[in-house]
């Protein structure tokens, strides 16, 4: 014989989201269209201090919306209470009557009702028209009153739909929302790669690679390197230190008591870091020596060739107002040494030359040499 687990409880494998991260979950800030059966089974969020925040899978839920038939109605002085049935459960909803605000009433013409008065009367008529058997749509905050869950509505109304499309589509869309949103637990790891609380300081490979890329640039500029090989980077202490940071993809390998990170982690971090720099154009590959990487802005040959080509081309009639970027790029790429130069590297170089006062950029991405 099998017992059925409560689907609304926190399942094993679903991490509890700390209270300061609840706002990252979109379900916390919207009205969730849960079945009334599930709403009644919701339990308070384990890690929360707020009273009326409940858990479904590991989503924090505070506002709900439901469409159902009124099966019981009661009127009090300031509110109505309706018991709403959606076919899976029955929940009571407290619907507050609108307050009469006499300041809104304008002194209109004698005998004529103002527009505000007519709207208020119409709204009150609509509210009093909710009867047993009516299909209503209620949105509100989920609260616990006398150990029973109820919805304190901030929006409610009768569903007037002659073709009943809203009701039918609502049933189908609700199931789709469950399968695509509600039943998928929220993952707690952030995009930056830093885990929260018990595992602080552990970064993802992506995060470490970006730090390695920044460190390579910093060291190269400081030490005035013009080019380097990939394996030489491992010998630089600052770069090696960044590669050795705890990485979540390789953390399991350290369970055997190893203190130093695996060599695969260091190699992967350096390779990804160099890849970032290539994509951004800070370095480019050499044609003659495949493993050699040149720094774009520090390469004197590239700078000299670019200025020479620019001066030669700008003497021609068609480029008298400036040489286009693509034309300049194609010319430089004909040189054997710079065949692997990328667009982004070329842009970085021209920006650097402009900062040094050797080149002026004009309209339409054209460049002129400073004579």
Partner 1 sequence: MSSFSSTNIPPVAEICHIHEDIFSQERKHTKRIRIIGRLQEKDINRHTVVLTSPVTQPNVKHSSVKVCVKLIYPFEARLGSLYETIVEVLQPEEDGNLHAHTWRCMDGLDIIMYYKGIQMRREYFSQRNINQAVPDTG
Q: Is 152 exposed, middle or buried (0-12, 13-18, 19+ CB in 10 A)?
A: middle
Please identify, using beta-carbon distances, which residue of 82 and 250 lies nearer to partner 1: 82
Please identify, using beta-carbon distances, which residue of 168 and 362 lies nearer to partner 1: 168
Q: Nearest distance from residue 86's CB to partner 1, in Å?
A: 9
Please identify, using beta-carbon distances, which residue of 173 and 289 lies nearer to partner 1: 173
Q: Nearest distance from residue 181's CB to partner 1, in Å?
A: 13
CB neighbour list of residue 276: distance below 8 Å, 6 or more residues apart:
209, 210, 213
Cα 67-71-74 angle, rounded to 5 deg: 105
Read off the tokens for 141. Answer: 């905050």
**Which stretches of the chain bind partner 1, using CB under 8 A?**
1-5, 7, 36-37, 69, 71-72, 74, 76, 79, 81, 83, 85, 87-90, 92, 94, 132-135, 145-146, 148, 150, 162-165, 167-168, 171-172, 174-175, 178-179
> For residues 306 and 270, is the Cβ–Cβ distance under 8 A?
no
Give the integer Cα–Cα distance in Å for 370 and 148. 80
Q: Nearest distance from residue 48's CB to partner 1, in Å?
A: 23
Please identify, using beta-carbon distances, which residue of 12 and 106 lies nearer to partner 1: 12
Measured in degrees and rounded to the nearest 5, phi and psi for residue 321 equal -95, 0
Q: Nearest distance from residue 165's CB to partner 1, in Å?
A: 8
Q: Nearest distance from residue 63's CB to partner 1, in Å?
A: 18
DSSP, collapsed to helix, strand or coil, labels residue 6 as coil
Q: Nearest distance from residue 87's CB to partner 1, in Å?
A: 4
Please identify, using beta-carbon distances, which residue of 151 and 269 lies nearer to partner 1: 151
Please identify, using beta-carbon distances, which residue of 1 and 112 lies nearer to partner 1: 1
Read off the tokens for 25. Answer: 């979950």
DSSP tag of 203: B
CB neighbour list of residue 257: distance below 8 Å, 6 or more residues apart:
none
Q: Is 83 exposed, middle or buried (0-12, 13-18, 19+ CB in 10 A)?
A: middle
Residue 167's H or E segment, with its range, is helix 165-177
Q: Nearest distance from residue 124's CB to partner 1, in Å?
A: 20
Please identify, using beta-carbon distances, which residue of 88 and 361 lies nearer to partner 1: 88
Please identify, using beta-carbon distances, which residue of 10 and 274 lies nearer to partner 1: 10
3-class secondary structure for 204-249?
Answer: CHHHHHHHHHHHHHHHHHHHCCCEEEHHHHCCCHHHHHHHCCCECC
Q: Nearest distance from residue 138's CB to partner 1, in Å?
A: 14
Please identify, using beta-carbon distances, which residue of 52 and 307 lies nearer to partner 1: 52
Measured in degrees and rounded to the nearest 5, phi and psi for residue 154 equal -110, -5
Give the integer Cα–Cα distance in Å for 204 and 17. 20
Q: Nearest distance from residue 147's CB to partner 1, in Å?
A: 9
Crossing angle of the two packed helices 343-355 and 325-333, in degrees rounded to 10: 110
């Amino acid at each position: 014989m099998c017992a059925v687990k409560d689907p609304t409880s926190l399942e094993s494998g679903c991490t509890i989201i700390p209270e300061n991260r609840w706002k990252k979950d979109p379900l916390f800030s919207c009205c969730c269209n849960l079945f009334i059966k599930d709403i009644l089974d919701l339990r308070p969020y384990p890690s929360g201090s707020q009273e009326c925040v409940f858990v479904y899978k590991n989503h924090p839920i505070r506002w709900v919306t439901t469409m159902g038939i009124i099966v019981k109605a009661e009127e009090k002085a300031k509110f109505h209470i309706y018991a709403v049935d959606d076919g899976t459960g029955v929940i009571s909803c407290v619907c507050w009557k609108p307050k009469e605000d006499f300041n809104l009433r304008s002194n209109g013409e004698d005998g004529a009702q103002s527009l505000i008065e007519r709207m208020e009367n119409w709204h009150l008529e609509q509210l009093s028209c909710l009867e047993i058997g009516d299909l209503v749509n209620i949105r509100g905050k989920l609260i616990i009153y006398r150990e029973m869950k109820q919805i304190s509505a901030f929006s409610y109304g009768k569903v007037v739909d002659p073709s009943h499309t809203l009701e039918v589509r609502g049933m189908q869309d609700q199931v789709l929302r469950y399968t695509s949103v509600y039943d998928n637990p929220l993952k707690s790891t952030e995009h930056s790669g830093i885990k929260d609380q018990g595992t602080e300081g552990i970064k993802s490979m992506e995060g470490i690679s970006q730090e390695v890329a920044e460190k390579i640039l910093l060291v190269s500029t400081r030490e005035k390197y013009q080019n380097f090989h990939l394996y030489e980077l491992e010998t630089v202490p600052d770069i090696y230190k960044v590669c050795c940071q705890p990485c979540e993809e390789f953390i399991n390998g350290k369970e055997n008591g190893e203190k130093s990170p695996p060599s695969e982690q260091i190699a992967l971090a350096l390779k990804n870091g160099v890849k970032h720099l290539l994509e951004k154009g800070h370095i480019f590959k050499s044609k003659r020596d495949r493993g050699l990487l040149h720094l774009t802005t520090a390469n004197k040959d590239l700078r000299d060739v670019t200025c020479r080509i620019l001066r030669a081309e700008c003497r021609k009639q068609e480029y008298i107002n400036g040489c286009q970027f693509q034309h300049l790029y194609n010319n430089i790429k004909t040189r054997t040494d710079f065949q692997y130069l990328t667009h982004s590297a070329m842009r970085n170089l021209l920006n650097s030359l402009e900062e040094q006062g050797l080149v002026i950029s004009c309209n339409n991405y054209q460049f002129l040499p400073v004579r």
